Structure 1
């Protein structure tokens, strides 16, 4: 969905920012892209640990995978070769062989990408000590380099989508073995990939700088420099965009912002998938939430429809289940409780809290999270649940919630659109915080382990979906979390900027920057 107009840059703003208006400067600006991020700093540019929205956006520019989603799409049907030029599988889909392109070059002069790099990367992605996505690769029995340009993957059992695990997303990114071993811990903030843009430098709290990877195998990017500025405050991003200091900005999922920006001349608003599912995860191991009646009270106290309407129907819809609605295996009617304040109060009283209770919750300062948390706070208060919000910078918040420091976690996420991925990462006991395979199971949910595991090896597609749907019912009944809304990605850009493709979706949760991006004359 796009909205178009014509951008006018005020003369005073141009003078105050030192922006000259001469044609020669305008031409020079065509080679540099400036973006404004809704973040205070970078977190981790090792792609196997990149979990925040901002980090995911950046690693997708730096790295590639064996295969990739076609630019502008999140549809698994569009998956195409990236580093791999071809592949084949045995009849039982347990052994896969990938032929790699010859001559693909690493950034910063690290030489050619080989099968050894692929083996190293996928083994790292499957290692819980070196990856946040290791559970996704539990079925990997072996990854072997047959020769410098051939990789063989053997599975212990069938998986819902092997290609999905090998895309330019999460654990599927390929990294330079040599660079990783040379740079050690420094790799997280000084990465090397084979993607279209290479990392140059970080100004902590200010910006990340990139340059074009001139030897990118699809061709040298048309954009030569990229500056990714940290502008955590929405007002600051809006001012920077309207004054011409940045060309692209993370939008605000607020209908008032949308209406204001739709009226701005010379701007294009990109609203694209995947819609991030926001769930209020409830830690079943911490009092008073070890009592299911208290968890149920929270669920009945919340009114997702009101939140969706407030946020804006153009990019927000009510969640249907505990997994995103675009996932294969969705149960559209898992038995979600309907808003009922009286029932919420009665459950609290039955659990021993007739006068309500007070709960502390760590809240991300990222604007979209902060707004949702304030809405949750207001709704819970009506049922007698006082939510004390403790704001934290977004990257710090990510670290804190992964230490079980908050009994309630408002978390928005999109994953590869097959039910297994989301169910495994958020509701599988082995993904629980503190477990060796820790991912994002903040609730310590375990009620659907049997169904999640069985679905992975189920060869009948119909039965596999039935198991996923049963898992969702169990998770909802146990109130491991309360699904709230699904919110699309929203960015605004100058109309002279062309991504090089129609931006309908991006698994990196931000605009995918490829060699095709350019400024129109």
Structure 2
């Protein structure tokens, strides 16, 4: 191991290796991970920011089910379940011997509390809509819980594995934003605001023991600083590194570069309720003005995958709609003229502090200028973006990656920050959500994607790649990101 890391982590501790007949440096058991964004809070049941789940999902908090690195649903706090013939009643058998990090016992009452809290009128859930079909939550006994649905939900077990549905206790739920207490393999230790969050392995964890004793998330928003921290050994890796600088590490034997997929549809989000975006011809003109490949080359250094609707290309339901509005400056100008805007118009583009967003914004501003659309580029911090854009819908255009899996259903909510209100699409999503037959679900998903593409609801740019850079002696990191999170349970140091 590198001597400087051993000094920092182990204080020159040496262990006698009798098998080798001599002294050897002890194996590290701590990891320091660089992440681009600091979470606004640490309660995934009360916030939509991916930065929350990066720290806490499957680490501090767990759900009845969990999503693995292949996107498949696995047992979580529920060891098994049965589903009624009409697919409306789910009965879960819970693991015995589970405790929260404060030592309190986990049982079916905690599950009931969690879902009653999600469904309450004053719910703070960022995605209450996933769980609104739950009609009743009944405690059968301390280790058995029944969830009855008002309608069939084809994706219900997956939805239970999201960060939005992790199980919390009534004694600690109100404080989870700053002092999270869950049932996971890691317990919260400290949060130095603006600097880091530290987790430590939870000794009485009910599941498979983890190799790491401590994990520190270090907040580093600048690519150059992240490079220096990696090269200096101040951090041991990052799950999603700036693609513009990957070559620094690709040929360095001290590091490994993991390139995988995410659920991150990167879009030019459009406020459909505001003129001139409430005119479909304007949105179509914008779609024709976009040169996706130039954006991918400039903002992701070729790692992005072009998309034509709000759907991940690796999903089996995906349909390629990138040709719906091909890059065509003349067509864009003609549509603007038809919309009564032959000289174009001026609007703002708010960009969160993410390299792909700000690079994409600069490129799009240049492309839009060719057709007469003038963009004022406004850089905002993440907390401001969440408040102004996501919550208050105070924006014209913005750029962001939507990393939640199968989140096309957001377009069925007219109150979502896109402001898209299409009854036909809403009915289609309702049918899709109530369908369990896979072939029929695919047919409906293709129809949904096609409607969004034809309506040019947003500018569909690319699917964000996950490009992690890690110490070569670490293993167990997820290469792909099928759900928001940076799961620690399998990470360990190897010789």
Same-fold status (TM-score > 0.5) = yes
Cα deviation for residue 503 of structure 1 reads 2.7
CA RMSD between the two structures? 2.6
1:93-138 CA distance string (max 9 Å, x none): 11111100100111132x2211111112123334473201111112
Q: CA deviation at 1:275?
A: 4.1
Contact 1:50 1:56 in 2 (8 A): no
Q: Is the 8 A contact 1:361 1:388 kept in 2?
A: yes
Q: Residue in 2 aligned with 1:46? A: 43
Alignment-derived partner of residue 493 in structure 2: 519
Match of 1:73 among 63, 70, 74: 70
Which of 410, 423, 428 is equivalent to 2:412?
Answer: 428
Displacement of 1:146 in angstroms is 0.8
Query: Any idea what the Cα deviations from partners look like across 1:235-280, whole Å, max 9, x if unmatched?
Result: 11110110011111244342x4122220223101122232411121
* 1:177 corresponding residue in structure 2: 170
1:218-243 CA distance string (max 9 Å, x none)? 24432112211111111111101100
Runs of 4+ in structure 1 off by over 6 angstroms are none
1:385 paired residue number: 373
How many residue pairs match? The answer is 482
Q: Using the TM superposition, name which of 24-33 and 221-230 deviates more.
A: 24-33
Question: Does 2:160 match 1:166?
Answer: yes
Alignment of 1:237 with 2:237, yes or no, is no
Shift of 1:326: 3.1
2:279 is aligned to: 291
CA contact (8 A) 1:38 1:250 kept: no
Give the secondary-structure state (helix, strand or coil) at the position aligned to 1:86. Answer: strand
| Candidates 13, 24, 48, aligned match of 1:24 | 13
Change (3 A) 1:429 1:446: farther
Partner of 2:31: 33
Counterpart residue number, 1:63: 61
Structure 2 residue 65 is the aligned partner of structure 1 residue 96: no
3-state SS, counterpart of residue 486 of structure 2:
coil
1:122 counterpart = 2:115? yes
Superposed displacement of residue 335, structure 1? 6.2
Deviation at 1:20, TM superposition (A): 9.5
1:89 and 1:96 in contact (8 A); partners too: yes
Q: 1:511 to 1:95 in 2, by over 3 A?
A: same
Is 1:475 matched with 2:452? yes
Question: Residues 183 and 205 of structure 2 are in contact (CA less than 8 Å); yes or no, is this contact kept in structure 1?
Answer: yes
Residue 212 of structure 1 deviates from its aligned partner by 1.0
Change in 2 beyond 3 A, CA 1:506/1:486: closer
8 Å CA contact 2:239–2:467 kept in 1: the answer is yes
Which of 348, 362, 365 does residue 360 from structure 1 map onto? 348
TM-fit CA distance, 1:27 = 5.2
- What TM-score do the two structures reach when normalised by structure 2? 0.90
CA 141–19 in structure 1, closer or farther in 2 if over 3 Å, else same:
closer
Q: Secondary structure at the match of 1:228?
A: strand
Q: CA deviation at 1:496?
A: 1.4
Deviations 1:61-113 (A, max 9, x none): 1111112223x322x2xx2211111111111111111100100111132x221
Specify the SS of the correspondent of 1:211.
strand
Secondary structure (helix, strand or coil) at the match of 1:375 reads: helix
Deviation at 1:187, TM superposition (A): 2.2
Larger displacement relative to structure 2 (372-381 or 200-209): 372-381
Aligned to 1:465: 442
The aligned residue for residue 19 of structure 2 is none
2:393 paired residue among 391, 394, 404: 404
Q: 2:320 aligns with which of 329, 332, 335?
A: 332
Structure 1 residues 401 and 28, CA, compared in 2 at 3 Å: closer, same or farther? farther
Aligned to 2:184: 195
- CA drift at 1:19: 5.5
Mapped to 1, the partners of 2:133 and 2:196 lie a distance apart of: 39
C-alpha distance in structure 2 between counterparts of 1:116 and 1:507, whole Å: 30
Quote the offset at 1:506 in angstroms.
3.3
* CA-to-aligned-CA distance 1:318-366 (integer Å, 9 cap, x gap): 1142222233533334862111111112222332322222111211012
**Alignment partner of 1:63: what SS?**
coil
Q: Secondary structure at the match of 2:418?
A: coil
Distance 1:154 1:251, change over 3 A: closer
CA contact (8 A) 1:63 1:174 kept: yes
Task: Please give the alpha-carbon distance, in whole angstroms, between the structure 1 residues aligned to 2:222 and 2:320.
Answer: 36
The correspondence for 2:339, drawn from 351, 361, 377, is 351
Q: CA deviation at 1:505?
A: 2.6
Q: Per the alignment, in what secondary structure is the counterpart of residue 285 of structure 1?
A: coil
Residues 1:444 and 2:441 aligned together: no
On the 8 A contact 1:334/1:469 being kept in 2, the answer is no
Distance 1:400 1:517 in 2: 37
Partner of 1:436: none
Compared CA separation, residues 274 and 125, structure 1 to 2 (3 A)? farther
Q: Structure 2: any 5+ residue segments left out of the alignment?
A: 15-23
Describe the SS at the equivalent of 1:395.
helix
Question: Using the alignment, how far apart are the partners of 1:258 and 1:277 within structure 2?
Answer: 21
Distance 1:429 1:51, change over 3 A: closer
TM-score (norm 1): 0.86
CA displacement at 1:414 relative to structure 2: 2.8
Provide closer, same or farther for how the CA distance between residues 310 and 8 of structure 1 changes in structure 2, counting only shifts above 3 A: farther
Is 2:246 aligned against 1:249?
Answer: no
